[in-house]
Amino acid sequence: MAARAASAGRSITRIFAARCYSSSVALRALSLLSFLLAGCGHAEEPPSPPERVAQPDSDSDSASASDSDSDSDSDSDSESRGQGHGHGQGHGAGQGHRAGHGAGEGHRAGQTIGAGPWIVRRTLEHAPFPRDDVPSAIVRAPASYDGTGPLHVVVFLHGWRGCASALALSGPQPCGGTTLEGWDLAGRFDEAEVDAIFVVAQLAFLERDGSPGRFSEEGRFRAWLEELRASLALPEPASITLAAHSAGFETALAILARGGVEVRSVVLFDALYRGFQPFADWAAAAPERRLISLHTGGGRTASQSAMLARRARQALGADAVSVDPESPAEAALAHQVVVARSPVRHGDVPARHLAELSRVLLGGGRR
C-alpha cells in the first residue's frame, strides 16, 4: 500500500513538473513575443526628406487665404517645380541668358561700382525682416546700366516662401540650409536693356507670410533704400518702380502708404488679392503714375483687377484705362492703368512680363 502511494506521488510530481516547465516556457515565449511586438510598435520611422518649398501655381490656394482680412495669396511664392519661392523655368526668350551672376559679390560697401554688368548681395540694418544669415537684397546692374545718368530702380517684392537669392539668380541657390532652383529674374531684367538697376528685396524668408514686416513703419522703406544706395555709392533715384508678385501686394501697399518715397510705377504680377481701391486711388493722384495689374484669368486676382479697372475709370475716365489689351506693354504706353490677363500660370507671371514692362515703364531710363 505504501509502495503504491509512493508510486502515485512520483507520477503526480512528474506531471506537476512537466506542467510547470511548460508554463515557464510559455511565459518566456510570451515575454519574448511582447518584447518584440513592443519594439516594432515603437520603432521610429526614418525621417522624410525635407519638403522643397515653392510658391503656388494657381490662386485656388490663394483664394482661401485671401478670404481673411489679411487676404494674402497663397503663394501665394503652390508648388511650382520645387523652386522655393522660385518658379520660373526657362521663361521664354533669353532662357540661356545669364545675368553675370557672381560678378561683384565681393564688392566693398561704399565703393563705387560703376557701369554694369554686376550683381551684389547686401545685408542691411533697415531690412524689413532683419537677420544676419541671408542677404537683405540682391542688386543687379545689367550691361545696359552705364552708371552715369539718373538712377532708375525696380524693386521686386516676393510673396510667400521667398528667398531673394533664388528669385534673382539662375541655377541651384543655397537658401537657409536647402537648395532651390533659381528663377533668374535678374536675367529676365537684363533682357529689357534699360539703364536701371533691379533689386530683389528679402521679405519673410521661406515663410508662409506675406506681411511687409518693418516696411509697415513710417519711412522704413526709404531708410532701407538709402542704406542700400550708400553701400553702393549710388545717387538718389530718379524713379522707383515696385514689382510685386503674389502676396507681395501687401508690402507694395505698405510702401505706397508709409514708405516715405515717391513711387512712379507699380506692377502687380498676379498679386491683386486685396486692395483695388488704395491702388486705384494711388494711381489717380498723379498723372505720371502707372499701374499695371496682371492676373491669370480666375480667382481673387481677376475679380479684384476688374474692380480696380472700374474704380480707375470712375476716377480717371475710360480713356486712361485699358482692360484686356492684346499687349499689356503696348497698352501701358498710352494708358495710366492697365488690367490684363497673362497667358502663363501664377508662378511664371513675373518672368514672362518683367522685361517687356520694364522696357516701357523705364522709357526715361532706357538706353
Round to whole Å and give the CA distance between 205 and 317. Answer: 41
Cα 182 off chain centre by: 11
Round to whole Å and give the CA distance between 236 and 226. Answer: 8
pLDDT category, 19, cuts 50, 70, 90? very low
Query: Which is it for strands 237-245 and 151-157: parallel, antiparallel or unpaired?
Result: parallel
DSSP string for residues in 31-100 = HHHHHHHHHHHTPPPPPPPPP--B--SSSHHHHHHTTSSS---S-----STT-BT---SS-STTTT----
* Dihedral sign computed on CA atoms, order 254, 257, 263, 265: positive
Residue 119 parent element (H or E) = strand 118-122
* Secondary structure (3-state) at 260: coil
Largest CA distance in the chain: 129
CA end-to-end span of the chain: 128
DSSP lists the bridge partners of residue 207 as: none
The answer to whether 340 and 324 are in contact (CB under 8 A) is yes
pLDDT of residue 341: 98
Cα separation values, 208 from 54, 161, 178, Å:
10, 5, 16
Q: What are the residues whose beta carbons fall under 8 Å from the beta carbon of 142, sequence distance 6 or more?
A: 99, 116, 117, 186, 189, 190, 192, 193, 194, 196, 198
* Secondary structure (3-state) at 102: coil
DSSP lists the bridge partners of residue 122 as: 137
Residue 20 parent element (H or E) = helix 2-41
Lookup result for grid cell 537684397: 137
DSSP string for residues in 322-335 = EES-S-HHHHHHH-
Examine the pLDDT at 66 and tell me if it is beyond 50: no
Round to whole Å and give the CA distance between 351 and 200. Answer: 13
Query: Which is it for strands 118-122 and 137-141: parallel, antiparallel or unpaired?
Result: antiparallel
* Secondary structure (3-state) at 304: helix
pLDDT of residue 114: 87
Number of alpha carbons in the 13 Å side-chain half-sphere of residue 203: 32
- Find the angle CA(266)-CA(250)-CA(124) to the nearest 5 degrees: 85
> Which DSSP letter does residue 205 get?
B
The answer to whether 214 and 128 are in contact (CB under 8 A) is yes
pTM attached to this predicted model: 0.75
Round to whole Å and give the CA distance between 94 and 298. Answer: 28
Examine the pLDDT at 6 and tell me if it is beyond 60: no
Of 360, 356, 348, 367, the closest CA to residue 83 belongs to 348
What are the grid coordinates assigned to 317, written together? 475716365
Lookup result for grid cell 507699380: 266
Share of the chain above pLDDT 90, in %: 66
Instruction: Kindly report, residue by residue over 307-345, the tens digit of the pLDDT.
Output: 999 999 999 999 999 999 999 999 999 999 999 999 999
Instruction: Kindly report, residue by residue over 86-125, the tens digit of the pLDDT.
Output: 333 333 333 334 444 443 444 555 556 788 999 999 999 9
pLDDT of residue 108: 54
Round to whole Å and give the CA distance between 181 and 170. Answer: 7
Instruction: Kindly report, residue by residue over 202-255, the tens digit of the pLDDT.
Output: 999 999 999 999 999 999 999 999 999 999 999 999 999 999 999 999 999 999
Q: What are the residues whose beta carbons fall under 8 Å from the beta carbon of 298, sequence distance 6 or more?
A: 59
Which contacts (CB < 8 Å, 24+ apart) does range 331-334 have? 332/290, 332/292, 332/357, 332/360, 332/361, 333/360
pLDDT category, 363, cuts 50, 70, 90? confident
